[in-house]
């Protein structure tokens, strides 16, 4: 069942921009004549008010409505960042970007195709491989990362080629090995790199249901019904569920953004997070071959991940009683458009919440409560990969972020029965490079008030003789006082966790209220610090960073101008002064992800791999906040019995 969301237009400063607002902002900028005829837009959105501005709004002050427009001017060869005041009907600020460029867009891809399909060297290289029918050639645009020596200036994209057997098959099964195109999509100049001819694989690798040899027929229907409707309510972009209150929005780069997360405790709405969202991500490849050595994609900042959102489908992407939210984005020509059903909101059963059976008192019935969670999700497609971002809210005060990675792995042609430590074989004629997917989430805490601190806890064996058997161990907690002290990595062997606490608020035991950031087993960036990926993705070298809140410090890297940025921006620059992080407005940055060693089971389409973290109340409440969850009204036995 789908519920329609009829949110009022711009009723709150955090509400996303409407189509009318985006169109009006574009008209103001175009009228200024600051842009050339070949300028285009990468994205546009409501520029987010700062914490201080939102505090003033809560006190009754009207805020200026600002629209940010980011794009690129081909005539000038430079990207721009414009802030348009809809309140004052003028340009609040306009800046030409000196380092980095606006994200890749559809306009760039169209130019790339046009240049290569008219380039004699590219066509000759295809012909040398026996490829004459250009309608069967798929060009995969790739971010160059940094300016390569063959093309040291311009708005440079790389291009790889794949071959269809028919229009709707999986073209990734047939890479055109050895051929790489470099195109400056501003000037139209191209450099073709031919590293040698390799046979194009002939085997198909289709995965659509109508192209698979046999589809399972023995799965019985699994229905999820809520005859009385869902337990959540929605007012515009504010969601209330159980004791939770969350405001949501979409950002063209960050994707799904959560604002002003609160939990109602004894008739008090206690604040936990001011803002939580993806800040950056990097995907470095470990294969030294000419087809892959240069790859280190920043899928958020380089391609505007947020506006590559999927339009979600009931029964496929989401299941149950669903509420969808549309998202409004800006096209390259300055025309707003709507992605329908970009955000999915629903509830899920999540097994047992808590249970106890008193084995010594059979006259006392067991007590059990079922868990459920609220799910807020978006899915994005970036080239060959899909990224699903799922926020889970639980009845016991836990918050979880889960990233689901799926799609199609990158491939190269390999000889039969060969293998490589850098690029394992996954099919008779294909190998797939080892690579990482590393995400950095920005968690702007407001834990029971704006001033917070951070501590680290490690579990360690005791070093004294107080334990009779000498086998004691303890939780050793220490404060992290400065930015440099807070540059930390995980340590599963010591059950390392980090607490965000409010030193000014105490629980019933006289201890500071806190939430725990519980990381999962996760790698850090494997590439050298001085490499292009290392310079540009320094945020992934540590799993934890903590900074005092600054309005301008929004991204772990170069954010919307990561494309062709030389590196050094973001967290490494933010923490350079080693500021204090004690008892202040602070931001926690958590980097995590997966190192993907491809396997045959990942082909031709990759089953979901998971990454994420948990935020757990740790002395935030005086006892279990799930004690008041009612027993299930459907608690009875219904089973088919058999012999063991």
Angle at 436 between CA 44 and CA 196, to 5 degrees: 95
Where b means 16+ CB within 10 Å and e means fewer, 479-504 reads ebbebeebbbebeeeeebbbbbbbee
Cβ-based neighbour number of residue 245 at 10 Å: 17
Is 299 noted as a catalytic residue in this protein? yes
Query: What sign for the dihedral angle of Cα 374, 54, 264, 508?
Result: positive
Q: Are 276 and 291 in contact (CB under 8 A)?
A: no
How far lies 238's CA from each of 247, 390, 400, in Å?
4, 17, 19
Q: Rounded CA gap, 255 and 387, in Å?
A: 11
End-to-end CA distance of the chain: 40
* Phi-psi map region of 274: left, alpha, beta (phi>0 left; psi -120 to 50 alpha): alpha
Is 385 noted as a catalytic residue in this protein? yes
Structure tokens given for 623: 């006892």
Rounded CA Rg of the chain: 26
Of 615, 562, 609, which is closest to residue 103 (Cα–Cα)?
562
Cβ-based neighbour number of residue 110 at 10 Å: 12
Single out the catalytic residue among 169, 299, 444, 448: 299
Does residue 308 sit in helix, strand or coil?
helix
Query: What sign for the dihedral angle of Cα 324, 446, 499, 355?
Result: negative
Single out the catalytic residue among 385, 394, 515, 549: 385
Angle at 325 between CA 323 and CA 328, to 5 degrees: 170
Cβ-based neighbour number of residue 629 at 10 Å: 17
Where b means 16+ CB within 10 Å and e means fewer, 122-131 reads bbebbeebeb
Catalytic residues: 299, 385
């Amino acid at each position: 069942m789908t519920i329609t969301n009829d949110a009022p237009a711009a009723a709150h400063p955090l509400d996303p921009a409407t189509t009318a607002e985006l169109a009006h902002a574009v008209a103001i900028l175009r009228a200024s004549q600051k842009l050339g005829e070949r300028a285009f837009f990468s994205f546009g959105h409501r520029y987010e008010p700062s914490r201080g501005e939102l505090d003033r709004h809560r006190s009754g002050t009207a805020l200026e409505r600002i629209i940010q427009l980011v794009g690129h001017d081909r005539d000038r060869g430079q990207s721009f960042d414009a802030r348009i005041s809809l309140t004052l009907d003028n340009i609040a600020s306009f800046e030409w970007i000196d380092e980095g460029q606006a994200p890749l867009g559809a306009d760039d891809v169209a130019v790339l195709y046009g240049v290569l399909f008219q380039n004699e060297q590219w066509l000759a290289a295809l012909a040398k491989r026996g490829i004459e029918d250009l309608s069967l050639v798929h060009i995969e645009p790739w971010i160059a990362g940094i300016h390569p020596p063959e093309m040291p200036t311009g708005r440079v994209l790389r291009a790889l080629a794949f071959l269809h057997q028919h229009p709707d098959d999986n073209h990734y099964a047939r890479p055109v090995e050895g051929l790489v195109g470099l195109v400056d999509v501003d000037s139209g100049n191209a450099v073709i790199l031919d590293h040698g001819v390799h046979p194009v694989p002939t085997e198909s690798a289709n995965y659509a249901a109508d192209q698979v040899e046999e589809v399972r027929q023995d799965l019985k229907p699994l229905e999820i019904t809520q005859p009385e409707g869902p337990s959540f309510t929605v007012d515009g972009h504010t969601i209330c569920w159980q004791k939770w209150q969350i405001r949501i929005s979409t950002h063209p780069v960050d994707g799904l953004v959560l604002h002003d997360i609160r939990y109602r405790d004894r008739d008090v709405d206690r604040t936990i997070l001011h803002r939580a969202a993806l800040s950056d991500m990097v995907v470095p490849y470990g294969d030294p071959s000419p087809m892959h050595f240069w790859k280190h994609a920043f899928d958020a900042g380089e391609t505007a991940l947020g506006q590559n959102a999927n339009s979600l489908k009931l029964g496929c992407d989401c299941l149950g009683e669903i509420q969808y939210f549309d998202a409004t984005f800006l096209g390259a020509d300055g025309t707003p458009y709507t992605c329908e059903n970009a955000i999915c909101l629903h509830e899920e059963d999540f097994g047992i919440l808590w249970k106890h059976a008193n084995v010594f008192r059979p006259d006392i019935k067991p007590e059990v409560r079922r868990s459920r969670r609220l799910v807020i999700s978006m899915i994005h497609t970036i080239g060959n990969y899909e990224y699903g971002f799922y926020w889970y809210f639980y009845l016991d005060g836990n918050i979880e972020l889960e990233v689901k990675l799926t799609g199609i792995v990158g491939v190269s042609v390999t000889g039969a029965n060969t293998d490589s430590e850098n690029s394992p074989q996954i099919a008779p004629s294909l190998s797939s490079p080892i690579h990482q997917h590393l995400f950095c989430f920005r968690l702007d805490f407001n834990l029971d008030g704006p001033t917070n601190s951070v501590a680290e806890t490690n579990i360690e064996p005791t070093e004294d003789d107080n334990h009779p058997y000498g086998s004691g161990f303890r939780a050793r907690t220490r404060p992290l006082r400065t930015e440099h002290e807070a540059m930390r990595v995980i340590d599963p062997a010591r059950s390392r966790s980090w607490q965000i606490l409010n030193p000014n608020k105490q629980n019933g035991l006289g201890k500071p209220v806190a939430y725990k950031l519980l990381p999962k087993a996760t790698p850090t960036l494997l590439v050298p610090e001085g490499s292009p990926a290392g310079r540009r993705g320094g945020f992934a070298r540590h799993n934890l960073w903590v900074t005092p809140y600054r309005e301008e410090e929004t991204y772990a890297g170069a954010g919307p101008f990561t494309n062709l940025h030389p590196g050094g921006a973001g967290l490494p620059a933010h923490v350079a002064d080693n500021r204090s992080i004690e008892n202040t407005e602070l931001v926690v940055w958590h980097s995590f992800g997966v190192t993907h060693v491809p396997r045959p089971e990942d082909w031709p389409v990759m089953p979901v791999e998971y990454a994420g973290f948990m935020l757990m109340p740790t002395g935030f409440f005086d006892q279990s906040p799930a004690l008041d969850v009612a027993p299930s009204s459907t608690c009875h036995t219904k089973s088919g019995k058999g012999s063991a």
